[in-house]
């Protein structure tokens, strides 16, 4: 029994039942398939998180973001600047207690280098309803290249607990169709 | 120095049970159940707050309750119970005295004091930092002190366990190799040492930071090391509750492993690879390379998953072999139909096995894929997954084994036997609901650890689909059902332990059916295992696994391209 010492003291010499052996091999091969699936997706898949990240201070990141806002602001909404940078541009979004700042307006089918960092605590970038989720750290600047493929109004929810105002931390992103460029 | 200590011989199993071990198993198990009650109440409050129509608690209380729920259940209840299991698997199964009972009591006292200090810190309201206490969110210094004391106590308990293995070996209380269950408990204990060391490495500096002696803790470093503690502590649970599956199968049915070598090899894979799982939490963090993520998140090449998939065959396989030996040989599933479903130890164990495999295991592997994690990280899918592993898997297995410990160790008859019979089904159904509904809401992007997804007071509100709110409501109802199941368990356990009819020697109620005696007398690996029914179950599992895995790649492929 499983609660008594094995009767056969040389239990490691006992042959493995065939059914178990077959299952072990199937499970092992499945593990290999799943392992190589991740590598395969890096080569052929379109959704891979970049490894590009930099150390940065809250001040430096604020300066970069404000420079972008000043250059490309098109209007204001609920006290937030709405920024429409040209396609291919580096775009920035600040996470702080309890805001995603500013509002970005992007073009469908165009790629942008999105920089994300927190000015204070950890936050969770959760783009809805697309459902892309990223961990945003203070002192680290994450850079990803995104290509919106759907148009409309998108919410950015914070999904890392960041204190009592956590549930009010929401941002917005617009994606517009500019003639299907 | 000769150590004289009294023991009794168990009438049912013939095992020698020493008083020191018995007392310590009792006290650790009882305290564990008390914290299960505390944590469970907080859990129900959390679920009722996230049910939009009820929205029970104000925001500050919600985050307080969520912190208390996590600490008391993920850490305190489980580790206290695991200490009891380790003492049982060493001193009782090997029939020897417990090494250094005084140290074991010291460890117990430290754990209890630590748990109380942390709970007081949380209840004072300035330590609502969640179970994870991510910096730079700062808790009261006593919060960290409590966790550190608890961990030191648990480490002492772990070393008492190792010491007991040495005592048994030196005093020749068993022959050959330790039983499989003891082997599994040893695996759990080894992982525990790694886990607690990781916890100390990160929480001691964090404590110093909270009192001003350290001025900065890097957030990425914190998450990397903290999860070497946080995730590995769940891997202790896996090793412990799989040992309990084997234990219950052996005691209720006389089951023996199909192959000692395979089952032990599967446990060994846990020691070698489970600790890499810290990576599961870091898949969408900046500053970590994809190579590191892929290697670690897959436990090298899914070698720890391989271990679990092996147990997924060998545990039900050992049950099938034992049942077939008793004559339940008709068709593929007579052995399963005629299993002792009215015995809560068995039914709890089997429900734990099924839910852990199908819900917890598959979802865990899928969300741990580097790229798929992008659509799951920090959504409520994550708690959906780990309620299937830690609640349906570990907690239900612990409840099931309690139904054996009450007659064997506490020597009381089970009170309210009808309620005990129903308990695993009620609890299992409730947890299934919790798990599935949270996972469903998570696929719609509902965040975890969030007071109000209707975001009534946000400047830029976002509306989640109505179905998401419906699922969170169903989650609340499931939590009530699971809470009922938990209350039934506590009533039966506490009632039996304090007020149950005493079992006197010579009149013990056998836990195993009399005809098992023939099986009980033989041990070692199963001679001629033929387990067709189990192979069908495993095939169903495998097909589910593969389908769900690729469905999620399909979901991912529909998301905006990013690189």
pLDDT single digits (tens) B376-407:
999 999 999 999 999 999 999 999 999 999 99
What is the domain count for chain B? 2
Q: Using pLDDT thresholds of 50, 70 and 90, give the confidence band for residue B4.
A: low
Q: Which residues of B touch A170 (CB under 8 A)?
A: 455, 458-462
CATH number, residue B48: 1.20.210.10
Asked if pLDDT for residue B32 goes beyond 50, the answer is: yes
Q: How far is A71 from chain B (nearest CA, A)?
A: 23
Cβ–Cβ under 8 Å, residues B316 and B300: no
CA atoms of B524 and B529, how far apart (whole Å) = 12
Rounded Cα distance, B211 and B47, in Å: 34
pLDDT over 70, % of chain B? 95
| B458 pLDDT tier (thresholds 50, 70, 90) | confident
Q: Where are the alpha helices (DSSP H) in B4-100?
A: 19-50, 59-70, 78-87
Q: CA-to-CA distance for B26 and B89, rounded, in angstroms? A: 14
Contact A133 B93 (CB under 8 A): no
Among B220, B333, B193, smallest CA distance to B281 is for: B220
Can you name the residues that pair with A170 across neighbouring β-strands? A157
Average pLDDT over residues B512-518: 40
Give B70 to chain A, closest Cα distance, Å: 14
Query: Rounded distance, CA A71 to CA B227, Å?
Result: 41
Task: Please indicate whether residue B97 or residue B516 has the higher confidence score (pLDDT).
Answer: B97
Contact A159, A168 (CB under 8 A): no
Decide if B266 contacts B185 (C-beta within 8 A): no
CA pseudo-torsion sign B185, B72, B131, B385: positive
Q: Would B43 be classed as within a structural domain?
A: yes
Q: What is the pLDDT of residue B520?
A: 42
List the structure tokens of B246. 């084997």
The position carrying tokens 């004559």 is: B327
Question: B206 in a domain, yes or no?
Answer: no
In a domain, residue B302? The reply is yes
- Tell me the C-alpha distance between B109 and B117, whole Å: 12
pLDDT surpasses 60 at B27: yes
The answer to whether residue B498 is domain-embedded is: yes
CA atoms within 13 A on the CB side of A40: 8
Q: CB distance B286–A155 less than 8 Å?
A: no
Residues B188 and B271: beta-carbon distance below 8 Å: no
Residues of chain B contacting A149 with CB distance shorter than 8 Å? 560-561
What residue spans of B254-277 are helical by DSSP H? 260-273
Tell me how far the alpha carbon of residue B25 is from its chain's centroid. 18
- CB < 8 Å from A in window 292-351 of B: 294, 298, 301-303, 305-306, 309-310, 313-314, 317-318
Q: Report whether pLDDT(B518) > 50.
A: no
Binning pLDDT at 50, 70 and 90, where does residue B15 land?
confident
Asked if A133 lies within 8 A of B378 by C-beta distance, the reply is: yes
Residues B192 and B236 sit within 8 Å (Cβ to Cβ): yes
Are A161 and B63 within 8 A, CB to CB? yes
8 A C-beta contact, residue B141 and residue B148 = no
CA–CA separation, B358 vs A80, rounded Å?
A: 46
Q: Which residues of A touch B305 (CB under 8 A)?
A: 27, 31
What does the pLDDT read at residue B419?
A: 97
Statement to judge: residues B263 and B170 lie in one domain = no
Tokens standing for residue B344: 């809560």
Distance CA(B370)–CA(B242), nearest Å, equals: 27
Report the alpha-carbon distance of residue A163 to residue B204 in Å, rounded: 23
Write the CB contacts of B62 (distance below 8 Å, at least 6 apart in sequence). B45, B46, B49, B451
The residue-averaged pLDDT of B36-53 equals: 96
Chain B residues in contact with A41 by the CB 8 A cut-off are 371, 553
* Nearest residue in B to A148, CA atom: B560
Mean predicted lDDT score pLDDT of chain B = 92
State whether A155 and B462 contact (CB < 8 Å): yes
What is the per-residue DSSP string for A46-108? SB-----EEE--HHHHHHHHHHHHHHHEEEEETTEEEE-PPTT-EEEEEEETTEEESEEEEET
Domain stop point among B182, B199, B222? B182
| Same domain membership, residue B154 and residue B281 | no
Boundary residue ending a domain (B148, B182, B216): B182
Residues B406, B348 contacting (CB under 8 angstroms): no
Whether B359 and B256 map to the same domain: the answer is: yes
Distance from the Cα of residue B6 to its chain's centroid: 33
Classify the complex by whether its ipTM is higher than 0.85, answering yes or no. yes
Q: How far apart are CA B500 and CA B435, in angstroms?
A: 34
| Per-10-residue mean pLDDT, chain A, length 181 | 88 90 96 97 96 96 97 96 96 96 96 97 96 97 97 96 94 87 46
In this structure, is residue B9 part of a structural domain?
no
| CB pairs < 8 Å spanning A and B | 315
- The model's confidence at residue B528, banded by pLDDT at 50, 70 and 90, is low
Is any Cβ of chain A less than 8 angstroms from the Cβ of B512? no
Whether residues B170 and B273 share a domain: the answer is no
Instruction: Confirm or reject contact between B261 and chain A (CB < 8 A).
Output: yes
Q: Do B563 and A169 touch (CB under 8 A)?
A: no
Residues B178, B244: one domain?
no
Q: Which domain range does residue B72 map to?
A: 15-182
Q: Are residues B160 and B20 in the same domain?
A: yes
- Residues in chain A closer than 8 A to B553 (CB atoms): 37, 41
- What pLDDT, on a 0 to 100 scale, did the predictor assign at position B514? 39
The answer to whether the Cβ–Cβ distance between B563 and A46 falls below 8 Å is yes
Looking at the fold, whether B157 and B287 belong to one and the same domain comes out as: no
| B121 and B257 inside one domain | no
Q: How many angstroms separate the Cα of A74 from the Cα of each of A80, A109, A180, B66, B425?
A: 11, 20, 21, 42, 59
- Tell me which chain B residues have a C-beta less than 8 angstroms from the C-beta of A31: 298, 301-303, 305-306
Spatial CA neighbour of B532 closest among B361, B353, B316, B358: B316
B250 lies in the same domain as B360: yes
Separation of alpha carbons B237 and B453, rounded Å = 32
Rounded CA separation B170/A44 (Å): 59
User: B8 — contact with chain A (CB < 8 Å)?
Assistant: no
Is the pLDDT at B521 greater than 50? The verdict is no
Chosen from B89, B177, B453, B460 to mutate, greatest number of chain A CBs within 10 A? B460
pLDDT tens per residue across span B270-280: 999 888 888 99
Return the minimum-mean-pLDDT range out of B109-113, B115-119, B230-234. Answer: B230-234
For position B120, what pLDDT does the model report? Answer: 97
Q: Within a 10 A sphere around the Cβ of B518, how many other Cβ atoms?
A: 11
CB-based contact A38 B314, cutoff 8 Å: no
Residue from the list A79, A122, A167 with its beta carbon closest to the beta carbon of B455: A167
Contact B562 A78 (CB under 8 A): no
Question: In this structure, what are the phi and psi dihedrals at residue B436, rounded to the nearest 5 degrees?
Answer: -65, -40
Evaluate if residue B13 carries a pLDDT over 80: no
Residue A122 contacts by C-beta under 8 Å, 6 or more apart in sequence? A135, A136, A137, A138, A160, A162, B134, B136, B137, B219
Judge whether B443 lies within some domain.
yes
CA pair distance B12, B16, nearest whole angstrom: 11
Residues B376 and B383: their CA atoms lie apart, in Å, by 11
Interchain contact B212–A (C-beta under 8 A): no
Would strands A170-176 and A152-158 be described as parallel, antiparallel, or unpaired? Answer: antiparallel
| Whether residue B341 is found in the same domain as residue B420 | yes
Which residue in A24, A122, A140 is closest to B310 by CB distance?
A: A24
The pLDDT score that the predictor gives to residue B329 is 92
Interface probe for B, chosen from A1, A37, A129 (most Cβ of B below 10 Å), is A1
Residue of A6, A19, A21, A102 to mutate, interface with B, max B Cβ within 10 Å: A6
Closest chain A residue to B93, measured at CA: A3
The pairing of beta strand A90-96 with beta strand A99-101: antiparallel
Average pLDDT over residues B337-346: 96
User: Count of alpha carbons within 13 Å of B94, Cβ hemisphere only?
Assistant: 35
CA atoms of B324 and B344, how far apart (whole Å): 21
Q: Is the pLDDT of residue B76 over 50?
A: yes
Q: What is the mean pLDDT of residues B341-368?
A: 97
Chain-chain contact of A164 with B63 (C-beta, under 8 angstroms) = yes
- B55 and B156 inside one domain: yes
Name the pTM for this structure: 0.94
Chain center to CA of B406: 20
pLDDT at B3: 60
Q: Are B380 and B435 in contact (CB under 8 A)?
A: no
B128 within domain boundaries: yes
> Are B242 and B187 spatial neighbours (Cβ–Cβ below 8 Å)?
no
Separation in Å, CA A167 to CA A134, A163, B458, B476: 17, 9, 8, 19
> Which residue of chain A comes nearest to B545, CA vs CA?
A30
User: CB atoms < 10 A from the CB of A124, how many?
Assistant: 27
Q: Which two tokens stand for residue B193?
A: 């040492």
Task: With CA atoms as reference, report the closest residue to B135 among B213, B206, B227.
Answer: B206
Report, as an integer, the average pLDDT of B479-507: 91
B220/A158 CB distance under 8 A: no
Q: Is B365 touching A (CB cutoff 8 A)?
A: yes
What percent of chain B stands above pLDDT 90?
A: 88
- The alpha carbon torsion through B280, B281, B287, B293 (nearest 10 deg) reads 0
- SS3 (DSSP) at B546: helix
Using the predicted structure, report yes or no on whether residue B508 has a pLDDT greater than 70. no
Band (B16; pLDDT cuts 50, 70, 90): confident
Residue A176 parent element (H or E): strand A170-176
B263/B321 same-domain check: yes
Which residue, among B180, B286, B465, would best test binding to A if mutated, counting the most A CBs under 10 Å from its CB?
B286
Q: B57 lies in a domain?
A: yes
* B511 DSSP assignment: S
Residues of A in contact with B370 (CB under 8 A): 38, 49
CA distance B493 to chain A (A): 23
């Amino acid at each position: 029994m499983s609660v008594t010492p094995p009767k056969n003291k040389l239990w490691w010499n006992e042959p493995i039942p065939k059914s178990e052996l077959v299952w072990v091999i199937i499970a092992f091969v499945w593990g290999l398939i799943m392992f190589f699936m991740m590598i395969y997706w890096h080569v052929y898949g379109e959704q891979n998180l970049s490894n590009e990240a930099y150390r940065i201070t809250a001040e430096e990141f604020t300066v970069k973001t404000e420079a972008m806002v000043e250059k490309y602001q098109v209007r204001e909404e609920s006290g937030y600047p709405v920024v429409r940078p040209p396609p291919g541009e580096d775009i920035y979004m600040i996470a702080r207690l309890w805001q995603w700042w500013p509002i970005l307006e992007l073009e469908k089918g165009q790629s942008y280098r999105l920089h994300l960092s927190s000015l204070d605590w950890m936050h969770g970038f959760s783009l809805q309803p697309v459902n892309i989720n990223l961990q945003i750290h203070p002192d680290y600047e994450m850079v990803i290249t995104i290509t919106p493929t759907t148009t409309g109004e998108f919410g950015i929810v914070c999904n890392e607990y960041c204190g009592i105002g956590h549930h009010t931390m929401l941002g917005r992103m617009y994606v517009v169709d500019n003639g299907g460029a | 120095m000769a150590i004289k200590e009294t023991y009794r011989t168990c009438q049912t199993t013939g095992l020698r049970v020493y008083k020191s071990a018995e007392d310590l198993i009792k006290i650790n198990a009882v305290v564990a159940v008390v914290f299960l009650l505390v944590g469970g109440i907080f859990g129900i409050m959390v679920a009722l707050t996230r049910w939009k129509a009820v929205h029970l608690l104000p925001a500050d209380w919600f985050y307080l309750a969520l912190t208390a729920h996590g600490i008391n259940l993920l850490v305190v209840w489980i580790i206290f119970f695991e200490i009891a299991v380790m003492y049982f698997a060493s001193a009782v199964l090997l029939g020897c005295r417990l090494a250094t009972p005084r140290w074991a009591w010291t460890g117990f006292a430290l754990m209890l004091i630590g748990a109380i200090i942390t709970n007081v810190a949380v209840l004072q309201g300035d330590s609502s930092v969640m179970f994870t206490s991510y910096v730079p969110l700062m808790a009261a210094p006593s919060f960290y002190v409590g966790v550190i004391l608890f961990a030191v106590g648990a480490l002492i308990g772990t070393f008492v366990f190792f010491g007991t293995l040495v005592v048994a070996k030196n005093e020749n209380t068993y022959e050959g190799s330790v039983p499989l269950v003891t082997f599994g408990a040893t695996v759990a204990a080894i992982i525990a040492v790694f886990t607690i060391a990781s916890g100390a490495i990160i929480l001691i500096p964090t404590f110093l930071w909270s009192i001003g002696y350290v001025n900065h803790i890097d957030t990425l470093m914190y998450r990397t090391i903290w999860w070497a503690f946080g995730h590995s502590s769940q891997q202790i649970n896996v090793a412990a509750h799989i040992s309990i599956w084997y234990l219950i199968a052996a005691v209720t049915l006389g089951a023996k492993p199909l192959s000692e070598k395979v089952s032990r090899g599967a446990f060994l894979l846990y020691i070698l690879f489970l600790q890499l799982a810290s990576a599961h939490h870091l898949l969408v963090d900046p500053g970590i390379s994809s190579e590191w993520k892929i290697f670690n998140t897959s436990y090298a090449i899914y070698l720890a998953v391989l271990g679990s998939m092996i147990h997924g065959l060998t545990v039900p396989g050992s049950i099938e072999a034992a049942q077939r030996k008793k004559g339940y040989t008709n068709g593929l599933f007579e052995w399963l139909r005629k299993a002792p479903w009215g015995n809560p130890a068995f039914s709890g164990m089997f429900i734990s096995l099924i839910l852990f495999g199908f819900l917890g295991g598959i979802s865990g592997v899928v969300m741990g894929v580097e790229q798929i994690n992008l659509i799951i990280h920090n959504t409520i899918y994550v708690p959906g997954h780990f309620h299937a592993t830690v609640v349906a898997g570990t907690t239900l297995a612990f409840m099931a084994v309690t139904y054996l410990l009450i007659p064997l160790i506490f020597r009381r008859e089970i009170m309210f036997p009808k309620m005990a019979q129903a308990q695993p089904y009620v609890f299992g159904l409730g947890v299934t609901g919790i798990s599935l509904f949270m996972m469903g809401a998570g696929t719609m992007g509902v965040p975890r650890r969030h007071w109000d997804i209707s975001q009534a007071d946000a400047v830029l509100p976002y509306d989640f689909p109505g179905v998401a709110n419906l699922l969170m409501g169903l989650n609340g109802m499931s939590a009530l059902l699971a809470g009922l199941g938990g209350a039934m368990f506590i009533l039966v356990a506490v009632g039996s332990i304090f007020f149950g009819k005493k079992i006197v020697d010579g009149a013990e109620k056998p836990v195993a059916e009399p005809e098992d005696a023939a099986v009980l007398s033989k041990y070692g690996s199963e001679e001629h295992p033929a387990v067709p029914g189990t192979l069908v179950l495993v095939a169903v599992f495998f097909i589910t696994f593969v389908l769900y895995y690729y469905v999620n790649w399909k979901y991912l492929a529909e998301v905006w391209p990013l690189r």
